[in-house]
A and B are shown apart, each in its own frame.
Chain A
Amino acid sequence: MEGSIKYRIKFKKTGCMKFLGHLDVLRYFQKAIKRADVPVAYSEGFNPHQLLSFAAPLSVGVEGYGEYFDMEMMERIDPYVLRDRLDAVMVDGMRVIDARTLPEKSQNCMASVTAAEYRISFKDHDFDFDPAYSLVGFYQYLDEIVITKKTKKSERQIDLKPLVYDCIYDKGDVLITLPCGSTENIKPELFMGAFYDYTGIDPAELQYTLFRLELFGGTYPDISPL
C-alpha cells in the first residue's frame, strides 16, 4: 500500500499450538493484531483485510521456533514496541520474539524464504545404536540419495544429496537444513523416508519428532535468517 511501512515479525509456535493449521494461524494473528491495536494497513474495498504475508506454512503437528510474517503498517512504530504489544496478546505456546523494519523495496517474506533448518529428535526406541549418528552417516557416506518425489501431477526422480544443505549431529538429535519456499521445497519427511527405505528400519519402531528452528533467505551457501 502507498506510503505504508513494512515490518518483519518473528514468532514461535510451540506446545499445543502446533496443532493449528496454517489458515488458523493466519486468522489467529489477524485477530491478535486487532487486539494489540497497532496501526496495521488494510486493503481497500468492502471487506478490507490486513496486509500480511506469511513465510512458508508449517505442517500441523510441527513446532516452529523461527517463524515469520510481514505486516504493512500505516505509520512508523518502534519495532520493540510493536513486538511487545503483539507479544502481550499471545496465548500459551505463541510468542512474538522479534520485530524489525524492512527496507522500502524489499521482497515479502513468502518470496524471500529459500531454506529451513529442522531438528530431528528420535523418540525412545529399542535399537542398540544411536539413530542420530546413523542418520548423519547415511547422509555423509552416500554419494547420491535418489528418491521419487510425487506431486499432484507427476512423479520425478531426484537426488537429495546436493539438496541437503547441512546435516549435523547435535546432542543425540540431528540438525538438517533443506531448501524451502516456492523455487525448491524439500520436506524433511522426504529425507527421512529415504533413510528408512535405505536402512530397512520400520518407521513405527523408530519414531521421531520434528521441529522447525529457523527460516532462511539468500542463495545457498550464502543464506541467513529471514
Chain B
Amino acid sequence: MRKLALSDDILMQVEKPARYIGNEVNSIIKDADSVALRYAICFPDVYEIGMSNLAIQILYEQFNRRDDVWCERVFSPWPDLHKVMKEKSILLFGLESQEAIRDFDFIGMTMQYEMCYTNILQIIDLAGLPLLAADRTDDMPIVMSGGPCSYNPEPIADFFDIIYIGEGETSYDALFDLYIKMKKSGSYSRKEFLHKASVIPGIYVPTLYEPEYNADGTLTSFKPVYDDVPSTVERQVVVDMDDTAYPMKPVVPHVQAIQDRVTLEIMRGCIRGCRFCQAGMIYRPKRERSLETLENYAVEMLKNSGHEEISLSSLSSSDYSHLPELLDFLIEQCDRDKVNISLPSLRIDNFSLDVMSKVQDVRKSSITFAPEAGSQRMRDVINKGLSHDDIINGSRDAFLGGWNKVKLYFMLGLPTETEEDMRAIPELGDEIAMLYYDTIPKVQRQGRCQVTMSTSFFVPKPFTPFQWARMYEKEEYLHRAKIVNDHMKEMLNKKSLRYQWHQADVTVLEGIFARGDRRIAQVIMRAYELGCFFDAWGEYFDLAKWEQAFADCGVDGDFYIMRERPEDELFPWDFIDCKVSKKFLLREWHNAKAAKVTKNCKEGCAGCGAAVFKTGVCTTH
C-alpha cells in the first residue's frame, strides 16, 4: 500500500481527511520511473470543488493516455491543513503518488474564476517554489495555467512560466514532446525550453513579453523581447468534437463533490451572442458532439463510475440540435438503471417542461429563467434573445403543468442601466405572480406561487462587447439592489416575491482582476502575504486586507474599472488573438449603446471572426 504524505496524526486533526488520501476509483497509478514527464494538474480550490470540474478530468485523461506521462491531481489544502503544512514544512503532494510536486516536471492550474488568484500563490508556496516565475531555476517544475481567466492573464502573468490560451486538446502534445526531447538530449535549460515553447500555438510565455505604459497608465505597447517569439498568441480550438479525449472512466471522489455525477459535455461554444457573456465569445464557434458519441459516453461513464446522476454540460443546451433524441435516450437508460437526470437550465417551453416533468418532482422543483435584465430595452442592450412573451408564455405553461415556483436571474450595473430598468425587475416578478393567480383557479392552487429574483452585479470581462464599460463603487451597487428591493415591496403580489442580491465587495475586486494588467500581480502577492486566500469563500474573504494590499503597493484599482475605456485604448489582453475580432466587439459595443439586437449565429453570421476555424455552426449556417 502507498505511504501517505501526511501522518495519521495530522490527518486526524484536519477536517475531511479523505480529501488528501487519493486512492479513488479510476485514479491512475503509474510507475514513476517508467515515465518521462510528471504533471500535477491542479484546481486551486478545495477538493470537493476541484473534483467537480470537467477540464481537470479531461486533461487528466488526455495526459495519462500517454505512456510517457503521469498526471496526478492536486487541490488546495483547506486552511486547517495549510497551517499544519506551513508549521511542519510539509511540501504539497500529488494525490496519486503522495509525492512532493516540487519534484514534478510541470504544475498546471486551471483558473476558472478570478477570486482563486491567491490560491494560486498558496499552491506555488506550499509546493516549495518561488512565487515569481522569474525566480525559478532549472531544477524546478514549469508552472503553467489555462482556463477562462487566462484570456486576460496579465494580473497573474508574473506567477507563471507558461499560460496556455485556449482549449487544452490541441497543443499539449507538442509542449510535452519538446520538453521530453530537450531533457533526453541534455539540452534542457528553463530559459531555452520556454523560448522554444513560445512558438507552439497557444503557448504564452509571459517573461518573453514586455509592456510599456503611457503617462496616464494605459498601455503604449506590448511586445515580445525576441524576434522569433510571436507577437500574438492564437487561441486554440478543437475542430472535431468527436475526436477528443474524454474521461470515460471518471475519477470518483471519496468526499462528496459539489457535482457528484457524470458530466456529459454536449457541445462547446454558444450561438447566442449575449454581450456580457465572456464564455459566449471565447468559446466560439458552437461545436456539437454527435448524438452517437454522447450516447456512448453516457453509457460508459455511468458504468465505469457507478454515479447515480448524470447532467448535461453546455452554455445553452436547448441549442443542441439533437436534444430531444438525446434526452429520450437518457430518460430510457436512466429510468432502467435508476439514475437521476439533472437538467441544465433549458429554455422554458412545452418541450422542456415535458422533459422536466418526466425526470423531477414538479411539486418540489422550480423553473428557471435567466432574463438577466428586467426591461426589454435592457435585454436588447445586452442582446439577450429572451422576450417578454417568452417569459410570460413559458411561465403560463409551467403553471398549467403544475409548477408554482419560478426563479429569475438578473444582473445589476449593466451599461446604460437606468432606474426604470432596475424597477422593471420586481415588476416582471409581479407580473409572473399575477399570471399564476389568473391562470390557476383557486381550488387547484398548491398554496401561493413563489417567484424568486436574484441579482448579481455585472463585471465586464475581456473579449466581450462590454470590455470598454465602466463599473461602479460598492455603494452604488448596493443602492441599485435597494431600489429593486424597495420597489418589490410596493408590488401587489409582494407576498409571493422574494429577492436576493450578492455582496458587492468581491464584485469590485473581481472587476479589477478581470481587466487588470501586470501591475496587479504585486497586489495579489501582497494580499497573500497578509493572509488572504480562499477569497471565493465568504468566510475567508477579508476586504480590509485587500484594501491594505492595494495601498501598500500604491496601485489604484479604480483606474481599471471606474472609467469607460476609449475605443482606441490598447488592452493588456490584446496580444491574444481570440479569433473574435476587436472590430466585431466594438461594433457590438456600439449596437449595445443603441439597444440594437444582433442575430444569433443560427439566424445569420455577424462576422465575428470565428469562421476561420471552419467548424461547427460556422459551416452549417
- B and A form one assembly: yes
Which A residues have a C-beta under 8 Å from some C-beta of B?
15-17, 19-21, 23-24, 27-28, 30-35, 37, 42, 45-48, 50, 60-61, 89, 91-93, 209
Q: In whole Å, how far is B261's beta carbon from the nearest beta carbon of chain A?
A: 11
A28 with B254: CB separation less than 8 A: yes
User: Cβ of B2 and Cβ of A16 under 8 Å apart?
Assistant: yes
Shortest Cβ-Cβ A-B pairs, 3 listed: A31-B306, A34-B306, A35-B306
**Complex: A19 Cα to B308 Cα, angstroms:** 23
Within 8 A of A (CB), among B262-321: 302-308
Q: Does B256 contact A (CB under 8 A)?
A: yes
Contact B25 A46 (CB under 8 A): no
**Which residue of chain A lies nearest to B16 when distances are taken between CB atoms in the complex?**
A21
- Asked if B83 is at the interface of the complex by the 8 Å CB criterion, the answer is no
Contacts of A46 in B (CB 8 A): 359-361
Contact indicator A92/B23 (Cβ below 8 Å): yes
CB neighbours of A27 from chain B (8 A): 256, 260
Q: Given A16-B23, A91-B24, are A31 and B308 also a contact pair (CB < 8 Å)?
A: yes
Question: A24-B255, A32-B25 known; 16 other A-B pairs, CB under 8 Å?
Answer: A19-B11, A24-B254, A24-B256, A27-B256, A27-B260, A30-B306, A31-B25, A31-B252, A31-B306, A31-B307, A35-B306, A45-B361, A61-B11, A89-B25, A91-B25, A92-B23
Inter-chain contact A30/B12, CB cutoff 8 Å: no
**Segment 337-365 of B: residues with Cβ below 8 Å from A:** 337-338, 340, 359-361
**Residues of chain B at interface, number, CB under 8 A:** 32
Residue of A nearest to B358 (CB): A46
| Known contacts A24-B254, A35-B305, A37-B303: A93-B18 contact under CB 8 Å | no
**Which chain A residue shows the least CB distance to B365?**
A46
Cβ distance A121 to chain B, nearest Cβ, rounded Å = 13
Render B20-35 as a binary contact track against A, CB cut-off 8 A, 1 for contact: 0111110000000000
* Interface check B85, CB cutoff 8 A: no
Is A30 touching B308 in the complex (CB atoms < 8 A)?
Answer: yes
Interfacial residues, chain B to chain A (CB-CB below 8 A):
1-2, 4, 8, 11-12, 16-18, 21-25, 252, 254-256, 260, 302-308, 337-338, 340, 359-361
Minimum distance in angstroms from A88 CB to a CB of chain B: 12
CB nearest neighbor in B for A43:
B338
Min CB distance A13 to B, Å, is 12
In the complex, are the beta carbons of A16 and B21 less than 8 A apart? yes
Neighbouring B residues of A50 by C-beta, 8 Å: 338
Chain B residues whose C-beta falls within 8 Å of the C-beta of A42 in the assembled complex:
338
With contacts A32-B306, A33-B306, A34-B307 taken as known, whether A24 is within 8 angstroms of B25 at the C-beta atoms is no
Q: Which of B18, B337, B340, B360 has the most CB of A within 10 A?
A: B18
Chain A neighbourhood of B307, CB < 8 A: 31, 34
A19 touches B252 (CB 8 A): no
Contacts of B4 in A (CB 8 A): 16
Contact B18 A19 (CB under 8 A): yes
Given A28-B254, A46-B361, A61-B11, does the pair A20, B18 have CB atoms closer than 8 Å? yes
Listed A/B pairs (16) with beta-carbon separation below 8 Å? A16-B23, A17-B23, A23-B256, A24-B18, A28-B254, A34-B302, A34-B308, A35-B303, A35-B305, A46-B359, A48-B338, A61-B8, A89-B306, A91-B23, A92-B1, A93-B23
B residues near A16, Cβ cutoff 8 Å: 1-2, 4, 21-23
State the CA gap A33–B25 with chains docked (Å).
Answer: 13
Shortest beta-carbon distance from A39 to chain B in Å: 11
A37 to chain B, nearest CB (A): 7
